[in-house]
Amino acid sequence: MGCQHQPGVDKDGFSVSESGLKYRVIREGSGRTARVGQEILLHEKMFYMNDSLLFDSRQLPNPVKVLIGGNQAIKGIDEALVGMRKGEIKEIIVPPKLSRRQGEQVFPHPDSTLRYQINLVEIVSPQM
């Protein structure tokens, strides 16, 4: 007998999108939802699947500004941001096809599955 679980949710409780992005909400946000074409501020932590921390935006002086859908973030981040609300925190698992970066990228390795924790700090641009 195979493992029984809700369609679209894996055995670890992550929802799975059609693209293969896995995500779960760690903390609910409030207010309006983020949409493609809006600029947002976010904090993110990026890990290899063995929990090795690769990047933490909280080490920067300010949150990262991203135009959702503007090719400023990897496809997995763009997809996960849509529908988030201010203050929301998501954990996402991004397969290699959704984490490709522009140019000759060697770090993190382009075939890596990565885990992120993203926190939508603020929606900067007005509701569309």
Q: Is residue 3 included in any domain, yes or no? A: no
**Could you tell me the pTM of the whole model?**
0.86
Q: Is residue 29 included in any domain, yes or no? A: yes
Q: CATH number, domain at 99?
A: 3.10.50.40
- As beta bridge partners, residue 84 has none
pLDDT value at residue 127 = 59
For residues 58 and 113, what is the distance between their CA atoms, to the nearest angstrom?
22
- Residue-wise pLDDT tens digits, 40-49: 999 999 999 9
Q: Is residue 67 included in any domain, yes or no? A: yes
Q: Which domain holds residue 104?
A: 15-123
Q: Is residue 4 included in any domain, yes or no? A: no
**Counted domains in the chain:** 1
- Residue-wise pLDDT tens digits, 54-102: 999 999 999 999 999 998 999 999 999 999 999 999 999 999 999 876 5
